[in-house]
Amino acid sequence: MKKILMIGTGGTIASQSSEFGLTPGLSTEELLSYVPKVADVCEVDSIQVCSIDSTNVTPDYWKLMAKAVEDNYDKYDGFVICHGTDTLAYTAAALSYMIQNSTKPIVITGAQRPISNDITDAKTNLLESFIYAADDDSQDVSIVFDGKVIVGTRAKKERAKSFNAFTSINFPHPAIVQDDRVIRYIPTVPFKDPVKFYHEMNDSIFLLKLIPGIQPDILPYLFEHYDCIVLESFGVGGLPTTLTDEFYHVMKEWIETKGKIVVMATQVVNEGSNMTVYEVGKKVKSDFNLIEAYDMTLEATITKLMWLMGLPTMQYADIKKMFYTTVNNDIIFTKNQPDI
């Protein structure tokens, strides 16, 4: 039987009612006691790295989770992390960068309802996560939720209440779990390089979501205080004229002389950016050699930049090249992307 390590972090799955609202309280052992069938699937040990609502997850918690996997990597065949759903997509993306080329599966799951509720998705999600983690062909970081497997860099929480909370963005489901078995749609490609753990995440990054009529006065402040700014633009990507003058002013000062990073992303969840289509995007992109997020999720874009900025002495050109290097299927290249 495979040996799987369960790593508890809190979230609704482990929550109980209190006078202040739902709050995580159940330990990993208590969670397991609700799903005795797991014992038929694999041998499980469990540890608890924290017990928090995932609203409170920060990069320091990702380091704790990655360390729990790293410290136990040789002892187990796979890992199941129980996590709140609110920031689960960020954690799955962050761990995809912090733990690369893992031939052992690292499965992240959670639930929309506490495991102690009469009606809950928690028991199914937990059991199916163990089934997937114990499968011979599973590897790398993935989410198992509502019967579907989602690549760690491709998830987005799109529903606040329903059991099908997560959608896979711009990438197919590699597998589903049905009738207690894994049905794989995408064959597993074995890694050539050994597993690699990264320990730093630089969180000096700000996401600016554009709205119609946005005023430019915030730009100098952002450029002064953050190493990286992600602009969440409209459609395939562009910069509104209200921002252009100030943007050129701060970009000249900060990007050229102080090595700040600016990445263009889009508010449109599906199909990704292409700044070269419209005049509002094409010029600014070429004037400043901007990086763009293309088909990546926002969660992957943000956490990939945190990982890249955490690497020692990276120049802008290195960051750009590595940003455009695929990790755990996070970015797909097409011939519309000439800068890659």
Residues 75-104 that bind ligand ASP (CB under 6 A): 84-86
Considering CB under 6 A, how many residues would be counted as binding ligand ASP? 10
User: Does the protein bind ligand ASP through residue 110 (CB under 6 A)?
Assistant: yes
Residues 200-259 that bind ligand ASP (CB under 6 A): none
Question: CA of 6: how far to CAs of 3, 36, 58, in Å?
Answer: 10, 14, 20
Would you tell me how many other CB atoms lie within 10 Å of the CB of residue 142?
Answer: 29
Which listed residue (5, 53, 140, 305) binds ligand ASP by CB under 6 A?
53
Residue facing ligand ASP at closest CB distance: 84
Category of 146 on φ-ψ map: left (φ > 0), alpha (ψ -120 to 50) or beta: left
Q: How far apart are CA 37 and CA 127, in angstroms?
A: 7
160 contact partners, CB below 8 Å, separation of at least 6: none
Residue 81 CB, shortest distance to ligand ASP, in Å, is 13
User: Does the protein bind ligand ASP through residue 12 (CB under 6 A)?
Assistant: yes
Length of the chain: 340
User: Does the protein bind ligand ASP through residue 11 (CB under 6 A)?
Assistant: yes
Residue 258 CB, shortest distance to ligand ASP, in Å, is 36
Q: How far apart are CA 199 and CA 210, in angstroms?
A: 32
3-state secondary structure of 148: strand
Would you tell me how many other CB atoms lie within 10 Å of the CB of residue 23?
Answer: 16
46 is written with which tokens?
A: 């469990």
User: Does the protein bind ligand ASP through residue 129 (CB under 6 A)?
Assistant: no
Q: With CB under 6 A as the contact rule, which of the stretches 47-55, 285-293, 300-308, 318-326 interacts with ligand ASP? A: 47-55
Q: Give the nearer residue to ligand ASP in terms of CB position, either 121 or 330.
A: 121
**Runs of H (alpha helix) within the chain:** 28-33, 38-41, 59-72, 88-98, 122-133, 218-225, 241-258, 279-288, 298-310, 316-323
User: Does the protein bind ligand ASP through residue 299 (CB under 6 A)?
Assistant: no
Closest listed residue to residue 65, CA positions, set 175, 14, 148, 141: 141
3-state secondary structure of 160: coil
Residue 98 CB, shortest distance to ligand ASP, in Å, is 20
Which listed residue (18, 19, 21, 55) binds ligand ASP by CB under 6 A?
55
Residues 138-177 that bind ligand ASP (CB under 6 A): none
Q: Is 12 a catalytic residue?
A: yes
Which listed residue (112, 129, 138, 328) binds ligand ASP by CB under 6 A?
112
In the set 12, 87, 124, 153, the catalytic residue is 12
Q: Give the nearer residue to ligand ASP in terms of CB position, either 156 or 320.
A: 156
β-partners of residue 46 are 6
Q: What are phi and psi of 206, to 5 degrees?
A: -130, 140
| Active-site annotation, residues | 12
Please give the residue ranges that form the binding site for ligand ASP (CB under 6 A). Answer: 11-12, 53-55, 84-86, 110, 112
